[in-house]
Structure 1
């Protein structure tokens, strides 16, 4: 299959690329690296991406920014970081990708553990992750031509513990191998409208 992985060089994207790269033709996309550069908060850039790649069999999005801060310090513009990037960036990829997917193709988005198990300073991330999962469930019943859409909700990856572990007290880290397998289940499987949690 010909697959696009957006955020391919990030921690989650790398795990996904490693799992799928041995079996499929991967186009690696990143904000500042990869085969093609893309800011998912800019829908024009998303359209340019697909105009360059042409028809594909699947799209994975493991990208998007969210502002972390204590709730008392969050202003409207801070919430818009996650709304414009991680939420609407992924939604816009899903919407635009449909015209470029082969029949039966797949879309896989990324939420995260904070949507289910909130952490301090993570109210915006919890909101965005929950919204992404709701969008996927709703979109799955309307997609045409046998297209499928799922979302992977990874926990704290082992590779991120040194940098982020202090924000996740009591959380058990998960292996990148398990995270990569969840994306493979979405891309290579048959289900749609699913939230694949990796805890």
Structure 2
């Protein structure tokens, strides 16, 4: 398959690419580097990316920007960035990109466990994640030409270690990647795939 990975330079994106590149053609897309550049917050940038890449069999997004901060410390810009980038950026990958997916192909987006298991500081991320999961579930009722799903990772061990957190409750990026592979190679549609369920 020809697979476009948006956010390929991130911790999860690198693991997804590493697990797929032996058997599939990978095109990497990132904000600052990769085979093609894309700004998720800009619909025209997304259109330009798909125009440059052409038809693909699958799109995987492991991208999306959202602030982690206490509710009283979040600014209007923090909320707008999460809405424009993590939420609408990924929704626009589906809206704009579905016509670039070959028959039988798929689009896989990324939310996160904070949609259903929030914690202090997660309000803006939980908002975007929950909205994305609801969108995918509802949009699947109207679109059946392309399969699309959302993967909900838990905290990634590598990121936790970088932040000085206890990694005991986390999942490695490599194990997290298994949920994305299941979404691409399976037949589910309109589902939220919780990463720990695919070990």
Q: TM-score, normalised by structure 2?
A: 0.93
* Residues 151 and 194, structure 1, Cα contact 8 Å, conserved in 2: yes
- Structure 1 runs not aligned, ≥5 long: none
The residue aligned with 1:3 is: 3
Structural RMSD (CA): 1.5
Q: Which moved more, 1:87-96 or 1:113-122?
A: 113-122
**TM-score (norm. length: structure 1):** 0.93
Are residues 1:148 and 2:147 paired?
Answer: yes
Aligned partner of residue 109 in structure 1, secondary structure: strand
Task: Identify the residue that residue 37 of structure 2 maps to in structure 1.
Answer: 37
Shift of 1:9: 1.0
Q: Is this contact kept in 2: 1:156–1:171, CA < 8 A?
A: no
**Secondary structure at 1:120's aligned position in 2?**
coil
- Corresponding residue number in structure 2 for 1:102: 102
Which region of structure 1 is more displaced relative to structure 2, 106-115 or 65-74?
65-74
Question: How many residue pairs were aligned?
Answer: 196
Please say if residues 12 and 174 of structure 2, whose CA atoms lie closer than 8 Å, have aligned partners that are also in contact.
Answer: no
1:191 is aligned to 188
Alpha-carbon distance between aligned partners in 2 of 1:170 and 1:185, rounded to the nearest angstrom: 24
Gaps in structure 2 of 5+ consecutive residues: none
> SS of the counterpart of 1:129?
helix
Whole-angstrom CA distance in 2 between matches of 1:158 and 1:74: 26
Q: 2:66 aligns to what?
A: 66
Cα 1:28–1:122 change in 2 (3 A) is same
